[in-house]
Structure 1
């Protein structure tokens, strides 16, 4: 089951299926459109994203796409019965503005469902899944220059997963990989900040505002000591995702 299948099903359990056809849905960070697919039984679905290929992989009569930022939407206030966002907020730098906008466009009594993952300080924070299993938290432990030297020294460079796409690392592409890992594509905001901002929102009922922790077996005492010396806490290093579910 994909992360989208998992979280969309979890989200929809808060809305009776018999009533979904009456709901207006906004998907924040819809990408090429696939994230809108689970909601086509709704009355209407809007997807926003800043990517150039927005909506190109999913065309549906009920779905409209708008190329705009979550931090400054052109959507109507108090309009949507459901605002859904998964694997998007970790890429938004003005997190407070994005949450404020999500709250603004949600109608009174509407559902907000947001999951940000993986968070930057987690062992998967660099988003290059499966590349460096022997070197957890490599993006926090090495500088970009050190990482380039480390990769070049490996006899078997192997393969990596780059936002869902597996590919081989050619030596000529090492710089591209490292640049991606340390780019501003990730906001590097702490888990505690996600919790604090979500907690400050004026909602009528907060269902969830919590952090999923993972990686305890990887965090040896030596790695913990090394990263604590750089200012990272154990709590932050094990904080993989943030979930916020609330009724406005």
Structure 2
């Protein structure tokens, strides 16, 4: 997992921020982090908020078919030998090299078809999904979310992606705009699959120039990882 920042504090071994899974498969060294991300998705989206039905998390983890075409990022903290996720999200990718779903449209395209009409989202495109932030200190939680945003925006910029879509609660939309440049493209409507009202947004990806190495032992570009070239290379090995 790519280590963008480490800020050790009292009793804390360290903190890392970066890519933890590609195509539903954890990157080397991030197996526990990805497992915990899936468990948190179950705890928050199924058990606590009730956005998703229990069938999404029958094994204690929340997963769906979009994981097979997604990239997962997280802020991971290790304290006293225990690992915790401070913030995490996944990017659902349209246009990966290996098609994981029959209908490759992003969820936002399916639920707001009139927004895209005859101009579907290009390939590759991404949609932010399953955003999670959890910390007992609200300031630390907010800082972790900003750290996560910075990592994901850096990755997307390096991959040549200039915008990211989102399907989001209107309240969270207002909070998101405090940190990111987001424009509403689809008005509030009930999404039965998520048991909630949502709006469709597009988030601007600002230019961020930096060198990066996202996968241990690999020198693939962010765009290679985004469209699944890393998966193809593993299959060919």
State the TM-score, normalizing by the size of structure 1: 0.26
TM normalised by structure 2 equals: 0.27
Please say which structure displays the higher CA radius of gyration: 1
Structure with more strand by fraction: 2
